[in-house]
Structure 1
Amino acid sequence: MSSMLSHNKDQPRIRKSLSDSSPTATTATTKSLRHERLSRLSSSGSSDVSNDTSTNHADSYVLRWENRLSARKKAEETANNDYKKMYEKALATNQRLKSKLETSNQELAMIQDQLQRTQKGRPGDCSSNMLETEKKESWSLKKRISDMEEQLKVKAELKMENQRLKDENGALIRVITKLSK
């Protein structure tokens, strides 16, 4: 036992901060440190069983730590890819909704223009048949206008929700960036 202690005091200990090295360098360093410990144990003999078990506990701790680190990195990579996909999907949806909104606005303008022309261009001495058709047309146009206004309301709500999702996505990306540092 005393020979083991004197042997350990003579050997310099190498400690390296985890933030100073890359994961591959950390793995190589921990493997070389484990190899050094095992070679020291084998050269000193196997007379001390408690020291051997403490080395095994340390090795198992290092292995668990390495597994956690690699799992965390994989999870961060997956999360980054998922947020990127969600952001791209939100952008595509936003563009699609913008084009639909523009189309609906153009249709609405055409229908309102058409409605104004029919209301202004009414002759005073029309037959009852023409009045009924004009009433039907104006009623159908008004109905279409009200439908389009409802669609515009829905699109505005979707636009607001889309913006909220973009903001949330940006916040999540910032959090992930801070966690990855």
Structure 2
Amino acid sequence: MQKSQLTDLPSALAPDFDPRQFRNALAQFATGVTIITTKLSDGRFIGLTANSFNSVSLDPPLVLWSLGNRAQSLPVFQQNSHYVINVLTADQQALAEQFASRAEDRFEGVEFELSRTGLPILKGVAAWFECHNRSQYPEGDHVILVGEVERCAYNEQSADTQNRPLIFHNGRFLT
């Protein structure tokens, strides 16, 4: 259903909860953890931790993630043609914390290789998706970014119980 078809529906009712209750309820949904990477116009790399990643379509291959309107990196991700979504494993919690920090150079000490478009693919991740920045949808206090996957790969060891995914649940990382 296209958004234009929704205009005939009645408006949503006002929420009957406060923002804290909403956040606490959302925190009960466990998500995977990713690091999204791209680069600045001067060639320096930029990346951030995100748990809003989701699949959209197999044909064409589409994924989505979202970023808050107040994020300083939002204009960079909106304007770049490509980004890489790196899916983290349980042993990469420190990496997730590093990319969630306010550190000036989040790539300090981080091992990576370059994608076809020259963007960082982090070493040891469970999977990665090199995406063309296909579309963006401002919704509420976030922007939803839809990427068309041009290349992807996964670590076959990730299916092994020894290489579990990194999970975010109830405000903290779990393995």
Q: TM-score, normalised by structure 2?
A: 0.17
Q: Which has the higher helix share?
A: 1
Q: TM-score, normalised by structure 1?
A: 0.17
Q: Which has the larger radius of gyration?
A: 1
Q: Which has the higher strand share?
A: 2
